[in-house]
Chain A
Amino acid sequence: MKFNLKALPIAISIAMAPSIALSDEAADAKIAKLEQQVQTLQSQQNASLADKVQFNGFISGAYISSDNDAGYNNADSSANFSEDSKLGFQGTFNITDRTQAVLQLMMRGKYDWEVEAEWAYLSHRFENGVKVRGGKLRVPLFMYSDYLDVGYAQPFARPPQEVYGTIPFSSYTGAGVSYDVDYDDSTLTMQAFGGESDVKNSAVKLTNLMGANVSWTDEVWTLRAVYAQAQLDGPVVDELEVELATNVNTDAKYTVLDIDDEKGSFVGIGASYDNGEMIAITEWTRSEIDAAYPDTDSGYLTLGYRIKEFTPYVTVAYMKTQDNDERLPVSQAAAIQMIAFNAERMAYSLGLRWDAIDNVAVKFDITYADDFGDTSGGFINNSMDTTTGQFTYDDTLIYTVKFDAVF
């Protein structure tokens, strides 16, 4: 060892000798190249560490407000900074080349920033390409379900509530299996899932949740279809302004409907087009639940156009309950269900996504909803005056200013 150390300077000077003989320029080029190689080796070493664990996050901050108190997206006439503000952290741990654990923790302003795991699963990809996942996963009902909260990856300020608001749960505990078929220029993904879920802040549980979806994309066109079903059980509790006497009102919680292990089903189709400039996205869904819980059809079409860092968009969306005849006011209970569940509306959005700086998008959106028919429009704060049979609001306008960032 000692000999080696002593020999080292000599070895270096011998090694240096040829480069001294070379012109300065050639030597500099050689040194630059060696430095480059050292850097590459170092970054490869770092990369192998980074390959094991990755941390990412996303954050959204939103101001929403409305011209009235109908409660679209829980907006009212005062400023609301909580409803659409959220923070997510994700850790991806590569256990082996084929096995990984993913944990995504979410905090939402609307739930007082309570920490919840949205994704928490272990996945394994077999040699034949089949990928299985188990744990807490997103229910892949909609095109944006898998990244529902990652506003940065969406063109609009929020996915249209007429469609995305009809299903009151977004994740499930269970397992899923998926398989990709790679064609020359496109990919077909088939996925099946099963498990259980519950509705946040309610006692409604979903069991035997199972479904399948298939999607195809060539990175310009995306086509998608999904079917899912579940057993639903538990009380649907609502809060209604009850008139005790003339001008004496009180908010009362009451059970609108006790769902007794009823079957629900869901079908959805979607398509999107994005050639880098033009964006078009459309989805249509139908959910059906046995008994008096509403069956709803909904759909939307979004068109957008990228002009450098600006993407203006327009959205037209609708939703309508299809089984109003199951809630004819033949009894007091049925009348309450009619008021609470019958819903229809159209919504028109005009918005702008501005990719202001790297990894940060700022969004502006105005959404106008009307055509409620003889219903509340689906807004629990839109109460009916029982003497006139009229609902308080027959339209609503909401404003959104939002930033979405990823890191």
Chain B
Amino acid sequence: MKTLFSVLALSLSAIVSANAAVVVIGNTASGDMSASDAKKAFLGKGDSSVVVYELEEGNATRSEFHQAVTGKSDAQLKAFWSKQVFTGKGNPPATVPNAAAMKSAVASNPNAIGYIDEADVDATVKVILKP
């Protein structure tokens, strides 16, 4: 129940801080990332050692992020991944349900990247790109 409350609180804070920008986060040990590398990573291209995490479909931060970084709308992104999957070119990144899970996933793997609302950034992760 407490967990549920904290999840609720987190999603509430995400709504409240809707004005803050989305940022790409990496492990605290990682260096900055260029916008074009981020675009490639989130479309399954470029350096294959990068482990990419996405927020789940329907999440507003996810849409905002893709608008800024890959330039794809929700519908375009879905069509893009169905094309990649059914031509054997790649699979969409793993998804996490919220910013807390995103931070935890990114913090635990030096090669991981993800994105969260700037307001959710804490010391466990590092902002590697402000698109």
A contacts, CB < 8 Å to B: 28-29, 31-33, 35-37, 39-41, 43-44, 47, 50, 54, 56, 58, 88, 90, 92, 97, 100, 102, 104, 119, 121, 123, 138, 146-147, 150, 152-153, 180, 182, 184-185, 187, 219-220, 274-276, 306, 309, 311, 355, 358-359, 406
| A147–B86 CA distance with the chains assembled, in angstroms | 6
A276 in contact with B85 (CB, 8 Å): no
B70 in contact with A219 (CB, 8 Å): yes
Residues 62-93 of B contacting A (Cβ, < 8 Å): 70-73, 75-76, 78-80, 82-83, 85-88, 91
A37 in contact with B45 (CB, 8 Å): no
Please indicate the chain A residues that have their CB under 8 angstroms from the CB of B3 in the complex: 31-32, 35
B contacts, CB < 8 Å to A: 2-3, 6, 36, 39-40, 43, 45-46, 48, 57-58, 70-73, 75-76, 78-80, 82-83, 85-88, 91, 94, 96, 100-101, 104-105, 108-109
Chain B residue with Cβ nearest A98? B48
Rounded to whole Å, the gap between the CB of B104 and the closest CB of chain A is 5
Given A219-B43, A276-B71: A40 in contact with B105 (beta carbons within 8 A): yes
B78 in contact with A359 (CB, 8 Å): yes
A152 in contact with B79 (CB, 8 Å): yes
Please indicate the chain B residues that have their CB under 8 angstroms from the CB of A184 in the complex: 36
Please indicate the chain B residues that have their CB under 8 angstroms from the CB of A123 in the complex: 88
| A134–B73 CA distance with the chains assembled, in angstroms | 34
What are 11 contact pairs spanning A and B, CB under 8 A? A32-B6, A33-B104, A36-B101, A40-B105, A102-B88, A146-B86, A182-B40, A182-B45, A187-B45, A276-B76, A406-B85
Please tell me which one of the listed residues A28, A32, A37, A359 contacts residue B108 in the complex, with CB atoms under 8 A apart. A37
Rounded to whole Å, the gap between the CB of A268 and the closest CB of chain B is 18
Rounded to whole Å, the gap between the CB of B119 and the closest CB of chain A is 17
Please indicate the chain B residues that have their CB under 8 angstroms from the CB of A28 in the complex: 2, 6
A119 in contact with B79 (CB, 8 Å): no
B86 in contact with A58 (CB, 8 Å): yes
B88 in contact with A150 (CB, 8 Å): no
| A43–B104 CA distance with the chains assembled, in angstroms | 11
B39 in contact with A185 (CB, 8 Å): yes
Please indicate the chain B residues that have their CB under 8 angstroms from the CB of A274 in the complex: 76
B101 in contact with A153 (CB, 8 Å): no
Chain B residue with Cβ nearest A154? B79
A276 in contact with B73 (CB, 8 Å): yes
Please indicate the chain A residues that have their CB under 8 angstroms from the CB of B76 in the complex: 274, 276
Chain B residue with Cβ nearest A186? B36
Given A40-B108, A54-B91, A121-B88: A152 in contact with B6 (beta carbons within 8 A): no
B94 in contact with A150 (CB, 8 Å): no
Given A37-B104, A100-B88, A119-B88: A153 in contact with B6 (beta carbons within 8 A): no
Please tell me which one of the listed residues B48, B75, B83, B108 contacts residue A147 in the complex, with CB atoms under 8 A apart. B83
Q: Which of B40, B45, B82 has the most CB of A within 10 A?
A: B82
Chain B residue with Cβ nearest A125? B48
Given A28-B6, A276-B76: A88 in contact with B71 (beta carbons within 8 A): no
Rounded to whole Å, the gap between the CB of B7 and the closest CB of chain A is 8
Given A90-B86, A184-B36: A39 in contact with B101 (beta carbons within 8 A): yes
| A44–B82 CA distance with the chains assembled, in angstroms | 23
11 A-B pairs besides A32-B100, A219-B80, A359-B78 with CB distance below 8 A are: A32-B3, A43-B96, A58-B82, A90-B85, A153-B86, A182-B40, A219-B70, A311-B75, A355-B75, A406-B78, A406-B82
Q: Which of A32, A220, A309 has the most CB of B within 10 A?
A: A32
Chain A residue with Cβ nearest B79? A153
Please tell me which one of the listed residues B46, B91, B104, B108 contacts residue A182 in the complex, with CB atoms under 8 A apart. B46
B108 in contact with A146 (CB, 8 Å): no
A56 in contact with B94 (CB, 8 Å): no
A36 in contact with B104 (CB, 8 Å): yes
Given A36-B101, A182-B40: A47 in contact with B75 (beta carbons within 8 A): no
Please indicate the chain A residues that have their CB under 8 angstroms from the CB of B73 in the complex: 276, 306
Please indicate the chain A residues that have their CB under 8 angstroms from the CB of B57 in the complex: 358
Please indicate the chain A residues that have their CB under 8 angstroms from the CB of B104 in the complex: 33, 36-37, 39-40
| A43–B56 CA distance with the chains assembled, in angstroms | 14
Please tell me which one of the listed residues A36, A39, A47, A152 contacts residue B82 in the complex, with CB atoms under 8 A apart. A152
Rounded to whole Å, the gap between the CB of A32 and the closest CB of chain B is 5
A150 in contact with B100 (CB, 8 Å): no
Rounded to whole Å, the gap between the CB of A95 and the closest CB of chain B is 13
Top 10 A-B pairs, shortest CB-CB distance: A102-B88, A153-B83, A146-B87, A276-B73, A153-B82, A36-B104, A406-B82, A40-B104, A184-B36, A150-B86
| A253–B75 CA distance with the chains assembled, in angstroms | 47
| A311–B58 CA distance with the chains assembled, in angstroms | 19
Please indicate the chain B residues that have their CB under 8 angstroms from the CB of A121 in the complex: 88
Chain A residue with Cβ nearest B109? A44
A276 in contact with B82 (CB, 8 Å): no
Please indicate the chain B residues that have their CB under 8 angstroms from the CB of A31 in the complex: 2-3
Please tell me which one of the listed residues B58, B75, B86, B101 contacts residue A56 in the complex, with CB atoms under 8 A apart. B86
